[in-house]
Structure formats: structure tokens, C-alpha cells
Amino acid sequence: MIRVTIWNEFRHEKKREDVKAVYPDGIHAALARGLAADDLQIRTVTLDDPGQGLTDEVLDSTDVLIWWAHAAHKEVTDENVSRIVAKVQTGMGLIVLHSGHYSKLFKAVCGTSCSLKWRESGERERVWCIEPFHPIAQGVPETFVVPQTEMYGERFDIPGDARVIFMSWYEGGEVFRSGITLERGYGKIFYFSPGHETFPIYYQPEVLKVIGNGIRWAAPLCRGVISAPKVENLEPFRNQK
């Protein structure tokens, strides 16, 4: 059983009618319903929960954290970002969705600015799976269409070890590395860009399939600790003067 925590900023859905119309209970609730499966134990938390939804109790019982955020990146405390990063480095899986690319959290694990181009156009996006043998690609079609999307375009400023699983084509002429994996210490990270607060992308079966695969891939095989131990020599010294 993989313990999944879906963290949602959950502000748009309370304030804007156009968002509420698509995700009346919040994006976290839509994701929780769409991802429900026998091997997943799913919980949702939001920014306005106690401790920003990120208490020790929550993080200590999470195998994979899903992150959706957009307008309130700055409100997440630096301390909470550091706590999550440490959890990732010791094994917790992390799935960052869409506008989460510009969260403090994603920038912190990348070490890059994570900047990109964007356009809220409702144009057509075509997603291509370029690594069909990867666990995240199993059961996902080689290509599928998101009928209306927010465009995210290159250059996407991510580190060189980002492994590209999905690439996107946009009607307006851009391309994007729309599904990438990273590893940081014991932790696996998957970023997937399709998804937006005013388009019903998180109801689309292919998108849910990808995120679900991402969860299973990112679930930790084992956990580590962060330490910088002083150690004794294992082989005897001889050359030392």
C-alpha cells in the first residue's frame, strides 16, 4: 500500500467561479477520486490546513507527495520547503504538477530557475511519450491530445539529469519537455505539466494514468538518512608520513 498525500494550494477553487466550475471540490479532490486504486492510500491536505498541511505527522506517513500550486508559492514557508526537500532526499517520492514548476519546492530540488514560456490560450496540446519502456509510460498511448491547455514552452530551465519521458507539441508553435524525472538522493521526482485550474485536464484518463504510474514509480524502494559521518580507516595506513 502506497501512502499518497495530495497537497493543493486550494485558493483558486474558492475564489474564482471559472475554476470552481471545473473543480468544485478542489483539484485535490478531483485527483483523489481520479487516482483511487486498491494499492493507494490517498489523503489530501491544503495550504490553509494547520502547519500548511505539512506537519511531521503528515510527512512522516507519506510515501509519495503530490504538489499542486500556482498563485501562493511565496506563502509556503522556507522551513516547510526545507523539511519536504529533506524528506525527498531520504526517500519520499514527489510528483509536481503543472504550475508547481515554479514552486520554491521544485526549484529547490532542481537547483535551477525552472522558468519557461507560457500562454493561457486554451489551445491544443499533443503529448508524445518518448520513453515507452519506462514504468511511467506503461499503458499510456504513444501520443494523446489535451484539447484545451495552457501552453508551457521551452526553454524550460531544468537540470541536465532531467530524464525526458514526455514531450509536448502546441498548436501555437512551441514544444516542451512536459514529463521529466529526477532523482535526489533516495528520492524520485516526477514533473508533469499537463493540467490547469480552468481546463478539465485532471479528468482526462491518459493524464490520470500518467500520474498514477508516476506515483508507483516514485514510491520508495528504501529510505536513507542524511549524515556526514566521521569514519575510521578500513585499510591500514602505511604511506602516511
Question: 121-140: which residues touch a second copy (CB under 8 A)?
Answer: 121-124, 126, 128-133, 135, 138
Q: Per CB under 8 A, does 163 bind a second copy?
A: yes
Span 2-61, contacts to a second copy by CB under 8 A: none
Measured from the Cβ of residue 111, the count of other Cβ atoms closer than 10 Å reads 10
Which stretch, 27-35, 40-48, 62-70, 231-239, contacts a second copy (CB under 8 A)?
231-239
Which residue among 46, 168, 204, 213 contacts a second copy (CB under 8 A)?
Answer: 168
The cell numbers describing 120, all together, are 493561457
Minimal distance in Å, beta carbon 165 to a second copy? 11
Name the phi and psi angles at 195, rounded to 5.
130, 135
Count, residues near a second copy per rule CB under 8 A: 80
Q: Which helix (H) or strand (E) holds 17?
A: helix 17-22
Report how far residue 122's alpha carbon sits from residue 217's, in angstroms, rounded to the nearest whole number.
Answer: 30
Q: Among candidates 92, 114, 94, which has minimal Cα distance to 103?
A: 114
Q: Per CB under 8 A, does 74 bind a second copy?
A: no
Span 88-117, contacts to a second copy by CB under 8 A: 89, 91, 102, 108-113, 115-117
Name the phi and psi angles at 226, rounded to 5.
-100, 120
Residue number with CB closer to a second copy (32 or 180): 180
Q: Computed from CA positions of residues 163, 190, 2, 207, in that sequence, does the dihedral angle turn out positive or negative? A: negative
Minimal distance in Å, beta carbon 3 to a second copy? 18
Q: Per CB under 8 A, does 148 bind a second copy?
A: yes
